[in-house]
Chain A
Amino acid sequence: MIKMEKVSKWFGDHQVLTDVDLTLKTGEVVVICGPSGSGKSTLIRTINRLEQIQKGRIEVDGQDIYDSQINVNMLRQKIGFVFQQFNLFPHMSVLDNVLFGLVNIQKRGRKDSIEVAKSLLARVGLAEKINAYPGSLSGGQQQRVAIARALAQQPPVMLFDEPTSALDPEMVGEVLQVMKGLAREGMTMVCVTHEMGFAREVSDRVVFMDAGQILESADPETFFTSPQHPRAQRFLSDVHTR
């Protein structure tokens, strides 16, 4: 579903990604972890071209995303993206946030779209909040709306960029619950997260990054019990003793 080959990226002279290779099959859930500044967020943002790459190749659903034939707006409709800061539209109600892609981008009828949006909001447990504005919701609720919004166009792939890092601790659970549900339903997911419990429970593979490189890629059991790379060992012991 996603195939990255020798992806490299520079910000000016500073190389932030070095020869990254990553492949995801349909239905696979990959967690990317690593210290801050390791290039995790940059990596996930290259998959829907929020960041440009200077070298390498990225395929999503069999299409080279840098192919000159490709319409980036069409491509992005097939990739749901969830941000650390939620980025809900504050001038729109919860319902209109979820309707945004359906009505404005896919130009579907508002009436049918409302049904889709309502069922998505019910799925993230916010059916009673459809007329609320983002400003009146908690962080956890906002992030769940953001997930519903990203799901609205039925993308085959979902990308999560530290979806729980901006949340108060007691709200992390409700967001992870929604993500776990998605993973169990067979959604193809790439999650940048520090939630090691989530990684252990639902991911098929954990990828450890540092300094723009993938240092280790293993199934969660192997990664958490016997990490190979010394940097990964150190990272895990730091995370666990916290």
Chain B
Amino acid sequence: MLDIVREYWLLLLIGQYPNGPLGGLALSLILAILGLAFSLPLSLVIAMGRVSPIRWISFITAQFVRIIRGMPLLMLIFWAYFVVPKLLGSSVSGFTTLVCALVIYQAAYLAEVIRGGIEAIPAGQIEASRSMGASYFMTMRKVVLPQALFNVLPGLTNQFVSTVKETSLGYVISVNELTFSANQVNNLVLTQPLQVFGILAIVYFVVCFSLSRSLRWLDMRVRQARAMA
């Protein structure tokens, strides 16, 4: 196993870069970061739409969530990969396709987690803010969301970790991320699939574990600071 790591660590880490496109773990992390960076704000908007007192806004956002939640991510990726170029009339890179699919898919799930957090905020918090003369959006921004997002941090962590692992689906549309690189290595080594995919599993685990640990650390620090522990 160590031999494989020693031989192919660069391919696993950055793909064929700089002689070819960036790939491997580096690309997986970029995909995950972009996925999170775009899906989080989008999910905030959807979650606010879900709890909106304006009926048509809550209806539309609810349908969006239901539809996305009702399809497998892999199907969404295929759909984006084959349909979007037809609609746009020009080709779209696998990388872009994957980021878009991840963002849309994760946004729907994150939105539901955040909506749960918003709805769990006691009515008294909102009344306190409104009774001072704060508008609906000011109350959302300063009172409801800061508390709701913090309260649902464990649920958000779940979705973040999922996003990291779901980048591996890029494999099916030939995005040369970590799983794709590992498969290349496997094809080069030929005789040791157990070891190669064992390394792959360890790398994913380390990334996901560090992510969830750092978010837990953040959670605990904030709790201590706010005298909630």
- Whether a CB of chain A sits under 8 angstroms from the CB of B127 is yes
- Give the residue of B122, B128, B146 whose beta carbon is less than 8 angstroms from that of A91: B146
Q: In the complex, what distance in Å separates the CA atom of A50 from the CA atom of B127?
A: 7
Is A18 among interface residues, defined by CB-CB distance under 8 A?
no
Given contacts A105-B133, A105-B138, contact A90 B128 (CB under 8 A): no
Within 8 A of B (CB), among A84-102: 85, 87-91, 100-101
Report whether A77 and B132 are in contact in the complex, using a CB–CB cutoff of 8 Å.
yes
Whether, in the assembled complex, B55 has its beta carbon less than 8 Å from a beta carbon of chain A, the answer is no
**Chain B interfacial residues counted at CB < 8 A:** 22
Q: Does B186 contact A (CB under 8 A)?
A: no
B128 to A153, Cβ gap below 8 A?
A: no
Is B183 in contact with chain A by the CB < 8 A criterion? no
- Do the beta carbons of B127 and A83 come within 8 Å of each other? yes
Residue contact A87 to B125, C-beta cutoff 8 Å: yes
A48 within 8 Å of B (CB atoms): yes
- Known contacts A90-B147, A100-B142; A132/B227 CB under 8 A: yes
Q: Is the interface of B mostly helix, strand, loop or mixed?
A: helix
| CB-based contact B132/A100 at 8 Å | yes
Query: CB-CB < 8 A to A105: which residues of B?
Result: 132-134, 138
Q: Are A81 and B143 in contact (CB under 8 A)?
A: no
Q: In the bound complex, how far is the Cα of B123 from the Cα of A83, in angstroms?
A: 12
The answer to whether the Cβ of B174 comes within 8 Å of any Cβ in the partner chain is no
Contact A135 B124 (CB under 8 A): no
Tell me which of B127, B128, B143 has the highest count of chain A C-beta atoms within 10 A of its own C-beta: B128
A225 within 8 A of B: no
| Residues of A near any B CB (own CB < 8 A) | 48, 50, 73-77, 79, 81, 83, 85, 87-91, 100-101, 104-105, 132-136, 146, 149-150, 153
Q: A146-B128, A149-B132 are in contact. List 20 more A-B contacts (CB 8 A).
A: A50-B127, A73-B133, A77-B132, A81-B128, A81-B131, A87-B127, A89-B129, A89-B143, A100-B129, A100-B132, A104-B134, A104-B138, A104-B142, A105-B134, A133-B226, A133-B228, A136-B227, A150-B132, A153-B132, A153-B133
